[in-house]
Amino acid sequence: MQDKVALIAGGARGIGREIALRLAGAGWSIATCYRSSEADARDLTESLTASGVRAMTVQADVSDPAAAQRLVEQVQSEMGHIDALINSAGPYHRVPLLQETVEGWQLMFDNNLHPVFYLSKAVAPAMMERKWGRIINFSMANADQQIGQPAITAHYIAKSGVLILTKSLAKVLAPHNITVNAISPGFIDSGSAPPEELSKMVKNIPAGYIGGTKDAASVACFLLSDEASYVNGANIHLSGAWGV
Protein backbone atom coordinates (compact mmCIF):
# COMPACT_ATOMS: atom_id res chain seq x y z
CA MET A 1 0.00 0.00 0.00
CA GLN A 2 3.03 2.26 -0.29
CA ASP A 3 3.13 5.27 -2.66
CA LYS A 4 -0.63 5.41 -2.98
CA VAL A 5 -2.93 8.45 -2.79
CA ALA A 6 -6.44 8.38 -1.34
CA LEU A 7 -9.10 11.04 -1.75
CA ILE A 8 -11.59 10.82 1.12
CA ALA A 9 -14.80 12.78 0.72
CA GLY A 10 -16.12 13.49 4.18
CA GLY A 11 -12.80 12.65 5.78
CA ALA A 12 -12.67 15.38 8.40
CA ARG A 13 -14.61 13.47 11.03
CA GLY A 14 -15.92 10.06 12.00
CA ILE A 15 -15.32 7.07 9.77
CA GLY A 16 -13.54 9.06 7.07
CA ARG A 17 -11.08 10.45 9.59
CA GLU A 18 -10.32 6.99 10.98
CA ILE A 19 -9.68 5.65 7.49
CA ALA A 20 -7.35 8.56 6.77
CA LEU A 21 -5.33 7.86 9.91
CA ARG A 22 -5.15 4.13 9.19
CA LEU A 23 -4.03 4.63 5.60
CA ALA A 24 -1.47 7.23 6.63
CA GLY A 25 -0.02 4.66 9.00
CA ALA A 26 0.46 2.39 6.00
CA GLY A 27 2.25 5.12 4.05
CA TRP A 28 -0.60 6.47 1.91
CA SER A 29 -0.80 10.14 0.99
CA ILE A 30 -4.16 11.57 2.03
CA ALA A 31 -6.41 14.21 0.48
CA THR A 32 -9.65 15.09 2.22
CA CYS A 33 -12.43 17.51 1.49
CA TYR A 34 -14.90 19.20 3.77
CA ARG A 35 -17.89 21.44 3.35
CA SER A 36 -18.13 23.15 6.75
CA SER A 37 -15.90 21.25 9.21
CA GLU A 38 -12.83 23.37 8.53
CA ALA A 39 -11.34 23.10 12.02
CA ASP A 40 -11.59 19.30 12.03
CA ALA A 41 -10.18 19.08 8.52
CA ARG A 42 -7.22 21.32 9.33
CA ASP A 43 -6.51 19.42 12.52
CA LEU A 44 -6.49 16.11 10.66
CA THR A 45 -4.22 17.43 7.93
CA GLU A 46 -1.77 18.82 10.47
CA SER A 47 -1.71 15.48 12.30
CA LEU A 48 -1.11 13.57 9.08
CA THR A 49 1.64 15.92 7.95
CA ALA A 50 3.31 15.69 11.35
CA SER A 51 3.35 11.90 11.00
CA GLY A 52 5.44 12.24 7.84
CA VAL A 53 2.92 11.63 5.05
CA ARG A 54 1.75 14.02 2.37
CA ALA A 55 -1.65 15.44 3.22
CA MET A 56 -3.97 18.15 1.96
CA THR A 57 -7.51 19.30 2.57
CA VAL A 58 -9.84 21.23 0.28
CA GLN A 59 -13.09 23.02 1.00
CA ALA A 60 -15.56 21.67 -1.54
CA ASP A 61 -19.29 21.17 -1.79
CA VAL A 62 -19.26 17.95 -3.78
CA SER A 63 -23.02 18.08 -4.25
CA ASP A 64 -22.07 20.52 -7.02
CA PRO A 65 -20.75 18.51 -10.00
CA ALA A 66 -18.42 21.32 -11.07
CA ALA A 67 -16.95 21.55 -7.57
CA ALA A 68 -16.47 17.79 -7.48
CA GLN A 69 -14.59 17.91 -10.78
CA ARG A 70 -12.41 20.78 -9.57
CA LEU A 71 -11.61 18.89 -6.38
CA VAL A 72 -10.40 15.84 -8.28
CA GLU A 73 -8.33 17.98 -10.64
CA GLN A 74 -6.73 19.85 -7.75
CA VAL A 75 -5.81 16.66 -5.91
CA GLN A 76 -4.39 15.12 -9.07
CA SER A 77 -2.38 18.28 -9.72
CA GLU A 78 -0.92 18.49 -6.21
CA MET A 79 -0.62 14.78 -5.39
CA GLY A 80 0.16 13.47 -8.88
CA HIS A 81 -2.66 10.93 -9.09
CA ILE A 82 -5.54 9.35 -7.15
CA ASP A 83 -5.42 5.63 -6.45
CA ALA A 84 -8.46 5.39 -4.20
CA LEU A 85 -11.68 7.34 -3.81
CA ILE A 86 -13.58 6.87 -0.57
CA ASN A 87 -17.07 8.37 -0.52
CA SER A 88 -17.75 8.54 3.20
CA ALA A 89 -19.88 11.70 3.41
CA GLY A 90 -23.53 11.03 4.16
CA PRO A 91 -25.54 13.29 6.47
CA TYR A 92 -29.11 12.46 7.40
CA HIS A 93 -32.00 13.91 9.30
CA ARG A 94 -35.08 12.37 10.88
CA VAL A 95 -38.32 13.88 9.64
CA PRO A 96 -41.72 12.14 9.35
CA LEU A 97 -42.24 11.51 5.65
CA LEU A 98 -45.30 13.70 5.17
CA GLN A 99 -43.62 16.52 7.08
CA GLU A 100 -40.49 16.44 4.91
CA THR A 101 -39.87 19.54 2.82
CA VAL A 102 -38.89 19.57 -0.82
CA GLU A 103 -35.60 21.17 0.19
CA GLY A 104 -34.93 18.52 2.85
CA TRP A 105 -35.82 15.75 0.41
CA GLN A 106 -33.44 17.04 -2.25
CA LEU A 107 -30.71 17.63 0.32
CA MET A 108 -30.54 13.93 1.16
CA PHE A 109 -29.96 12.98 -2.47
CA ASP A 110 -27.61 15.89 -3.12
CA ASN A 111 -25.36 14.84 -0.25
CA ASN A 112 -25.65 11.03 -0.18
CA LEU A 113 -26.06 9.82 -3.76
CA HIS A 114 -25.15 12.42 -6.36
CA PRO A 115 -21.57 13.09 -5.13
CA VAL A 116 -20.76 9.38 -5.43
CA PHE A 117 -21.51 9.62 -9.14
CA TYR A 118 -19.82 12.99 -9.64
CA LEU A 119 -16.59 12.00 -7.92
CA SER A 120 -16.44 8.47 -9.35
CA LYS A 121 -16.93 9.81 -12.87
CA ALA A 122 -14.18 12.36 -12.27
CA VAL A 123 -11.55 9.91 -10.95
CA ALA A 124 -12.30 7.06 -13.35
CA PRO A 125 -10.44 8.24 -16.49
CA ALA A 126 -7.04 8.52 -14.81
CA MET A 127 -7.56 5.24 -12.93
CA MET A 128 -8.44 3.55 -16.23
CA GLU A 129 -5.31 4.96 -17.84
CA ARG A 130 -3.13 3.73 -14.97
CA LYS A 131 -4.93 0.33 -14.89
CA TRP A 132 -5.44 0.40 -11.12
CA GLY A 133 -7.95 1.93 -8.77
CA ARG A 134 -10.21 1.46 -5.80
CA ILE A 135 -13.54 3.12 -5.08
CA ILE A 136 -15.39 2.58 -1.80
CA ASN A 137 -18.89 3.90 -1.24
CA PHE A 138 -20.76 4.01 2.04
CA SER A 139 -24.37 2.90 2.16
CA MET A 140 -26.25 1.69 5.26
CA ALA A 141 -27.15 -1.68 6.72
CA ASN A 142 -30.55 -2.91 5.48
CA ALA A 143 -30.60 -0.51 2.51
CA ASP A 144 -30.45 -3.62 0.33
CA GLN A 145 -33.75 -4.82 1.82
CA GLN A 146 -35.77 -1.84 0.58
CA ILE A 147 -38.03 -1.73 3.61
CA GLY A 148 -40.23 1.15 4.67
CA GLN A 149 -38.38 3.94 6.50
CA PRO A 150 -40.96 6.64 7.34
CA ALA A 151 -38.56 8.83 9.33
CA ILE A 152 -35.55 8.78 7.00
CA THR A 153 -37.15 7.99 3.65
CA ALA A 154 -35.06 10.17 1.34
CA HIS A 155 -31.80 9.21 3.06
CA TYR A 156 -32.71 5.54 2.81
CA ILE A 157 -33.63 5.72 -0.88
CA ALA A 158 -30.37 7.55 -1.57
CA LYS A 159 -28.37 4.86 0.23
CA SER A 160 -30.20 2.15 -1.72
CA GLY A 161 -29.23 4.04 -4.85
CA VAL A 162 -25.59 3.97 -3.74
CA LEU A 163 -25.70 0.18 -3.83
CA ILE A 164 -27.07 0.10 -7.38
CA LEU A 165 -24.52 2.70 -8.48
CA THR A 166 -21.73 0.68 -6.84
CA LYS A 167 -22.65 -2.46 -8.77
CA SER A 168 -23.00 -0.55 -12.03
CA LEU A 169 -19.63 1.15 -11.63
CA ALA A 170 -18.04 -2.19 -10.75
CA LYS A 171 -19.20 -3.72 -14.03
CA VAL A 172 -17.99 -0.75 -16.06
CA LEU A 173 -14.60 -0.43 -14.37
CA ALA A 174 -13.64 -4.06 -13.65
CA PRO A 175 -12.00 -4.53 -17.09
CA HIS A 176 -9.58 -1.76 -16.12
CA ASN A 177 -8.42 -3.39 -12.87
CA ILE A 178 -10.57 -1.05 -10.78
CA THR A 179 -12.78 -2.31 -7.98
CA VAL A 180 -15.88 -0.58 -6.67
CA ASN A 181 -17.38 -1.84 -3.42
CA ALA A 182 -19.77 -0.67 -0.72
CA ILE A 183 -19.59 -0.75 3.05
CA SER A 184 -22.93 -0.62 4.83
CA PRO A 185 -22.62 0.37 8.49
CA GLY A 186 -25.31 -0.21 11.04
CA PHE A 187 -24.98 1.63 14.33
CA ILE A 188 -21.43 2.96 14.55
CA ASP A 189 -20.13 5.34 17.19
CA SER A 190 -18.83 7.87 14.70
CA GLY A 191 -20.25 11.04 16.19
CA SER A 192 -23.07 11.36 13.67
CA ALA A 193 -25.80 9.91 15.90
CA PRO A 194 -26.70 11.10 19.42
CA PRO A 195 -25.30 8.84 22.18
CA GLU A 196 -28.79 8.28 23.60
CA GLU A 197 -29.97 6.95 20.24
CA LEU A 198 -27.05 4.53 20.06
CA SER A 199 -27.60 3.29 23.62
CA LYS A 200 -31.26 2.54 22.88
CA MET A 201 -30.31 0.45 19.86
CA VAL A 202 -27.89 -1.92 21.59
CA LYS A 203 -30.68 -4.32 22.49
CA ASN A 204 -31.51 -4.71 18.78
CA ILE A 205 -27.96 -5.58 17.72
CA PRO A 206 -27.27 -9.35 17.80
CA ALA A 207 -23.57 -8.75 18.53
CA GLY A 208 -24.61 -6.85 21.66
CA TYR A 209 -22.55 -3.70 21.20
CA ILE A 210 -22.11 -0.60 19.07
CA GLY A 211 -19.40 -0.74 16.44
CA GLY A 212 -16.57 1.78 16.16
CA THR A 213 -14.86 3.72 13.43
CA LYS A 214 -11.89 1.34 13.63
CA ASP A 215 -14.17 -1.47 12.48
CA ALA A 216 -15.03 0.53 9.36
CA ALA A 217 -11.40 1.41 8.73
CA SER A 218 -10.39 -2.25 8.88
CA VAL A 219 -12.91 -3.20 6.21
CA ALA A 220 -11.89 -0.25 4.03
CA CYS A 221 -8.20 -1.15 4.26
CA PHE A 222 -8.97 -4.70 3.16
CA LEU A 223 -10.97 -3.48 0.15
CA LEU A 224 -8.12 -1.15 -0.81
CA SER A 225 -5.51 -3.90 -0.65
CA ASP A 226 -4.27 -6.22 -3.38
CA GLU A 227 -5.75 -9.09 -1.37
CA ALA A 228 -9.19 -7.79 -2.36
CA SER A 229 -8.43 -7.43 -6.07
CA TYR A 230 -11.18 -9.94 -7.02
CA VAL A 231 -13.78 -8.44 -4.69
CA ASN A 232 -15.84 -6.19 -6.93
CA GLY A 233 -19.42 -4.95 -6.67
CA ALA A 234 -19.71 -6.26 -3.12
CA ASN A 235 -21.73 -4.81 -0.26
CA ILE A 236 -20.18 -5.56 3.12
CA HIS A 237 -22.49 -5.23 6.11
CA LEU A 238 -20.80 -3.67 9.11
CA SER A 239 -23.52 -3.96 11.69
CA GLY A 240 -22.98 -6.77 14.19
CA ALA A 241 -25.75 -8.64 12.30
CA TRP A 242 -28.27 -5.82 12.69
CA GLY A 243 -30.35 -5.22 9.59
CA VAL A 244 -29.50 -8.50 7.86
> Of the listed 34, 92, 118, 156, which one is catalytic?
156
Torsion angle of C-alpha atoms 141, 12, 36, 125, degrees rounded to 10:
-80
- What is the layout of strands, in order, in the sheet containing 235-238? 55-59, 29-34, 5-9, 84-87, 133-138, 178-185, 235-238
Strand partners, 38: none
- Bridge partners (DSSP) listed for residue 237: 184
Nearest to 119 by CA among 160, 78, 64: 64
Backbone angles phi, psi at 184, to 5 degrees: -120, 95
How far apart CA 20 and CA 17 sit, in angstroms, is 5
Contact of 42 with 165, CB cutoff 8 Å:
no
92 tagged catalytic = no
Residues marked active site are found at: 156
